[in-house]
Chain A
Amino acid sequence: MPDDAPLDGLKRLSELDRLLHEPARLQIMAHLFVLETADFLFLLRRTGLTKGNLSSHVRKLEEAGYVEVEKKFVDRHPVTTYRLTPRGREAFTAYRETVLEALDALGE
């Protein structure tokens, strides 16, 4: 009886959320996963992305309903903050589990 686990692992990879399966977006999601909220500058510094890249990736995550944008004032200065939605949190958790399971199935 052949062991199908590695093939199953590879099949699981095909179930990955394609939107999250992108290094820049994954970085943004990982940072927002451990923070309550973060503004554009904080994410820019932490991820090392360019302004344009960060803007476009955040917009895609926002369109997918994974990230919500909030405008607020900090000491009379307008700040745009980002926060993971419950849907985004679920998607990121599911992504992590799928990747870990798939890699486990593939083994060493």
Chain B
Amino acid sequence: MKQRDGLDRIRRDAHREIHRDGLTEVAAGVVLFIIALATGRPAFYWTYLVAIVVLGPGLTRLRARTTYPRIGFAELPNEDRRRLGRGIALWVLGVFLLVAIALALLGALTDHLAWRRAAPALAGLLCAGGFLYLAQRTGLRRHYALTVASVVSGCLLTWPRIEGAYANVRVWALVMALLCLAVGGLAFRRFLRETPVSEEWRSDAG
């Protein structure tokens, strides 16, 4: 049992090391910023495509220039797709169930406008699933903090009436984008300051 705990610890430390640079949060911030920009605005839908095409390779390239020369390169094993898919489906189902129960208690379960107003809470809870997944893998406090922030900001932004199509969701996405960019940016700055480029990377001692 202890040996299994030891391997889990090694796995968690490796995840933590790989995500220590804060670039995952920066990437999440960019995605959320695009959601804030494009939700309900067909003229900006192309930005989703740009994000899909550019973000992954861009992140890898940035890590290759800044992260790997400092901590080395490691690839985590691919998740079991069926298990991951089941987990995502359960989370989404749970979130919709939770919001449905809340609306039912308010007597607005079949009110289309009430569902629309609850959209920030829905988005916050759904996004929290991603942060929680990351937090459980890395054990980093900032990932747990983003999980809580996503839920709290989503629920809080359900109340105010903001004019415009999906305006509340867009404001929620903007708040979370700024938070992710700030948290990730600070973590990245600290990472660069505290972890110098290694001699081994320069010479590839292997």
Contact = CB atoms under 8 A, between A and B. Distances in A.
Interface of A: 30-31, 33-46, 51, 55, 58, 69, 74-75, 77-82, 96, 99-100
B45 to A, nearest CB: 31
B74 A35 contact: yes
B205 A55 contact: yes
A34 B7 contact: yes
Nearest to B202: A77
Contacts of A78: 204
B44 interface: no
Interface of B: 3, 6-7, 10-11, 13-14, 17, 61, 64-65, 68-69, 71-78, 198, 200-201, 204-206
B206 A34 contact: no
Contacts of B68: 39, 41, 74, 77, 79
B57 to A, nearest CB: 11
A55 B206 CA distance: 7
Nearest to B200: A41
Contacts of A37: 73-75
Contact of A39 (B10, B11, B72, B77): B72
- Majority secondary structure of chain A interface residues (helix, strand, loop or mixed): helix
Given A35-B77, A36-B78, A38-B74, A77 B3 contact: no
Contacts of B10: 30-31, 34, 46
A41 B199 CA distance: 9
B206 A31 contact: no
A100 B6 CA distance: 13
Contacts of A45: 17, 71-72, 198
Contacts of A96: 3
Contacts of B17: 42, 45-46
